[in-house]
Structure formats: structure tokens, C-alpha cells
Amino acid sequence: MLTLQLVVNVMTLAGVPPLWNQFLNGAIIIVALIISRFASGEKQE
């Protein structure tokens, strides 16, 4: 959560449009879910 907020703050300070903020937030969450699934080593049905 802190990492996500840090990225948003940096992008806001850099003047990135809000649409890209939303896109990057979604991408970070999806990547985190994928990493979590593979890191757990359990099969999910």
C-alpha cells in the first residue's frame, strides 16, 4: 500500500495525467497478484 501511494505521489509531482495514474495503479495490483500466486507455490482451482 505504501509503495502504491509513493508511486502515485511521484507521478503527481512529475505532472503525469490522472488517467496514467489509474492505469499504473491497476498494473501494479495485477503484477502483485501474479507474483503472490506464483510465490505461494500452491495450486489453485
Q: Which three cell numbers stand for residue 36?
A: 503472490
Interatomic CA distance for residues 43 and 17, integer angstroms: 39
Cell of 3: 509503495
Q: Is 29 helix (H, G, I), strand (E, B) or coil?
A: helix
pLDDT in tens, 15-29: 888 888 888 888 888
Q: What is the pLDDT of residue 44?
A: 60
Tell whether pTM > 0.75. Answer: no
Give the separation between CA 33 and CA 42, rounded to whole angstroms: 14
* Other residues' Cβ atoms within 10 Å of the Cβ of residue 25: 15
Percent of the chain residues past pLDDT 70, beyond the cut: 91
